[in-house]
Structure 1
Amino acid sequence: MSWTVLLLGAYGLFGTRIAQRLARQNGWRLLLAGRDASRAQALAVRCRADPDCLAELVPVLVDAHTAGFAALLQRERPQLVIHCAGPFQQQGYAIAQACLEAGAHYVDLADGRDYVLGFGPALDALARKYDRLAVTGASTVPGLSAAVVDQCRGEFSRLDGIDIGISPGNRTERGLATVAAILSYVGRPLPWREHARPVAVYGWQALQRHVYATPVGPRWLAACDVPDLALFEPRYGPLQHLRFRAGLELKHLHFGLWLLSWLVRAGLVRDLARHAPTLKRLSEWFARDGSEQGAMHVALSGVGNSGSAHERCWEIIARDGDGPQIPATAAVVVAIKLARGELAVRGALPCIGLFTLAECLRSLQPYAIETRLR
């Protein structure tokens, strides 16, 4: 199978993992693109060292926000572009537009609620014009989280509530884009749903302690902004409640960010995301503390098919630092299904309903990752 994929932000936290996994596809040509030629070249060397590497790997120097990007698309003619260079909260849709106009399918890993919501209205007509698929949010949320709800939804005659939480291990690698994305909503109002009505909570507040299965155990979680908060009510509603939280393994880091959220909420700090490089460096002082074990849960509640109250809590546990493989999986699965001709849908849409939970977990089988339903 001849299939050319351009991977933007290829040597980043998630781009690296996507590149390593797609490099095992026979007959593929991967363009490993970014603004640092030496890092792109180093990634190509790492991928080629894998005995299962079958793809042709081409390091590419490009800034996707310049005219050189359009020239690259015209020269290389990729069938698919995967955009991993976040954060997406402040990005527009020019990159996706350029990809579609060049005849390429497009996938990104955006987790910014406003970005994901505006994606379809901005690009759907263009994607259909060129008979291409443009996907946003090909990550843990809403890609994996929606697949979990879709899998369990059939057990409920009425679904009333969805609670989602994520807590990575402290020793797990963290990317600057991910840190900046989190800081962008800390202390700012978020649209949760409580008692069948929309309510505002504030980023990194609404604290909760959740006990995961071993080896993760108890973790503190706090309110976060994700596309699910806007996408799940229309898809699964009407819902009594809809909540999303995330947390840091180390309590002093978690509650330190909670204190900063109050400074933002009080107006004493205007833009915490501007301080992402500094705060990331500070967090790395504690990089040897904690563990490499992370977890995610999706808890559903409502009325079961028997007519009685019913609850399900699905968990995924990542060990040995393999947690970042989870956000990388949706893009990998979508890319392979597109290449095989298994995705006939066209247009611009969030990453919901494009793969099953089983397909996602099958892609994760080589890693130290397990799931539980309780």
Structure 2
Amino acid sequence: MPTQYHIMVNTLSPERVRSSKPIEVKVLAKNQILIIGGTGRIGHHVAQDLQQHMDAKLVVTGRQRPKSDRHLMGEFLPLDLGNREQLQKAIAQSQLVIHCAGPFHHRDARVLKSCIEQGVDYLDVSDHRSFTQKALELAPAAQEAGITAIVNTGVFPGISNGMVRQGVDGFDRVETIRLYYAVGGSGGAGVTVMRTTFLGLQHPFLAWIGGKWQTLEPYSDRQIIDFGPPFNALGVYWYDVPEAWTIAESFPVQNVITKFGSAPDIYNRLTALMAKLPPSWIHHPFVIEGLSQISYRMTQVSDRFSGVGIVMIVEVEGEKDSQRASYQSRFYHPHTAIAAGCGTGVLAEWIGNGRLKKPGVWPVEQAITSEEFVEMMRSSRNLDLQQTWEDL
């Protein structure tokens, strides 16, 4: 049986928050941003983006100091998330905490809980619905504490959620939302992304199809999608991502389809085979780690040919002006990890300068409007979107 998830997305809708009484923004004397897991690939690129766009003291954490300081984007602080006293002290000295210490499959919400207790704003780059559930359940406490917390920031989830928000807002009624993701090799994200991929093969998951939750096998139902350059036609498969859950909760929609693929396509074939391993194998930590290390070494070679970019396509079908219509948006970036850094960095910048203040815990599609998403993409980081409308 699949793991059953019951997530409460923040009950205050974006519309209610925008129409409520303006919130007084307190500018803190401390101007320090704590990036937990800031020595990892994604954390490094988040820090790099902030270093370019914010005048703030950056403190990056890790279990061990990197061998070379050139990999540090800020002041290094050794930190073990298991040491609660050490964690609370680091958070207390910060204005904003960004949680980048994945994989998030087995993480608890202790970082967010500490931020709520100490009145510190929070972002994370989490990418698993079990963690998203734990975070969103803290929405009432975060609202009472007056902190802004946004989960699943980055590229996917993150920018992908904003793409959906923008598409849905153009319809009177939405029927189907499809999200297709293609990543070149490692995506520039290091071995952690390999662990995340293989951990995602361990359990069946729930997808919103036909207006109800249905159980699907991970990396099943291969489909060929034309992503355009640089990947063109590529196989994609059902994959569990947290936006599949939050989008179904955020919008009245009948179907939410999320499919993922890697380039070159041989990796998809191999991953689909791994998904069929006996449960005793794919659930064994040593097997997961072994597959992750082997895959990462393979991508260190193939990345030279495939690149490490990302293409995302969002399709929305529904009714607009009494006419059935479809909408498609396409996002491309030549470096997946840098794109994730941009997606998180903009939100961090807006929270840091007081522009974004919405007490509670939010997925991205509820945290920002379509107009803010456009500004986030084009004005702040020059990220490109291609959009088309078609009557059906």
Q: Deviations over 1:6-48 (max 9, x none)?
A: 011112121111111111245311112111123583333xx5x
Match of 1:86 among 97, 102, 122: 102
Where structure 2 has 5 or more consecutive residues not aligned to the other structure, the ranges are: 1-28
Q: Which amino acid is the alignment partner of residue 162 of structure 1? A: I
Question: Residue 150 of structure 2: SS of its match in structure 1?
Answer: strand
Deviations 1:132-164 (A, max 9, x none): 122221123443222112212233222110110
Q: 1:39 to 1:23 in 2, by over 3 A?
A: farther
Q: CA deviation at 1:338?
A: 1.0
Matches of 1:78 and 1:105, distance apart in 2? 9
User: Which residue in 2 is equivalent to 1:72?
Assistant: 90
Aligned equivalent of 2:260: 246
**TM-score normalised to structure 2 length:** 0.83
Q: For 1:1-374, list aligned pairs within 5 A.
A: 3-39=31-67, 41-44=69-72, 47=73, 57-66=74-83, 67-74=85-92, 77-121=93-137, 123-170=138-185, 172-186=187-201, 188-239=203-254, 241-264=255-278, 267-271=279-283, 274-283=286-295, 284-289=297-302, 290-292=305-307, 293-305=309-321, 307-319=322-334, 322-355=335-368, 356-362=372-378, 365=381, 370-374=384-388
Q: Distance in 1 between matches of 2:47 and 2:387?
A: 31
Give CA-to-partner distance per residue, 1:79-106, whole Å, 9 cap, x none: 1110100111101111221223233111
Asked whether the equivalents of residues 329 and 385 of structure 2 are also in contact (C-alpha less than 8 Å), the reply is yes
Q: What secondary structure, in the 3-state scheme, does the structure 2 residue paired with 1:60 have?
A: strand
TM-superposed CA distance for 1:173, in Å, is 1.8
Equivalent position SS for 2:262 = coil
Q: Deviations over 1:328-363 (max 9, x none)?
A: 233212211111111221122323332332133136
How many angstroms apart in 1 are the aligned matches of 2:66 and 2:265?
A: 37
Distance 1:25 1:318, change over 3 A: closer
CA shift, 1:196, in A, is: 3.2
Unaligned runs of 5+ in 1: 48-56
CA shift for structure 1 position 200:
1.6
The share of aligned pairs that are identical, in percent, is: 18
Moved more, 4-13 or 135-144: 135-144
The verdict on how the C-alpha distance between 1:255 and 1:304 changes in structure 2, with shifts beyond 3 A counting, is same
Q: TM-score, normalised by structure 1?
A: 0.86
Query: Does the 8 A contact of 1:40 with 1:60 survive in 2?
Result: no
More divergent stretch after superposition (86-95 vs 31-40): 31-40
Mapped to 1, the partners of 2:385 and 2:146 lie a distance apart of 37
Q: 3-state SS of the aligned residue for 1:148? A: helix
Distance in 1, Cα, partners of 2:132 & 2:159: 15
1:280/1:180 Cα in 2 relative to 1: closer, same or farther (>3 Å)?
closer
The answer (yes or no) to whether the contact 1:187–1:202 under 8 Å persists in 2 is: no
Bigger drift between 273-282 and 11-20 goes to 273-282
- The 3-state SS of whatever aligns with 1:288 is helix
Task: Give the residue type in structure 2 aligned to 1:63.
Answer: D
Partner Cα distance (1:311, 1:100) in 2: 41
Asked whether the 8 Å contact 1:180–1:276 carries over to 2, the reply is yes
SS at match of 1:205: coil
Q: In structure 1, what is the equivalent of residue 11 of structure 2? A: none
Say whether the 8 Å CA contact 2:206–2:216 is kept in structure 1.
yes
Q: Structure 1 residues 120, 248: CA separation in 2 closer, same or farther (over 3 Å shift)?
A: same
Give 2:290's aligned amino acid: T
RMSD over equivalenced CA pairs, Å: 2.3
Q: Which letter maps to 1:4?
A: Q
Contact kept, 8 Å, 2:346 with 2:380, in 1: the verdict is: no
In structure 1, distance between residues paired with 2:378 and 2:134? 31
Corresponding residue number in structure 2 for 1:54? none
How far apart in 2 are the matches of 1:237 and 1:199?
A: 17
Instruction: Write the letter of the residue equivalent to 1:275.
Output: V
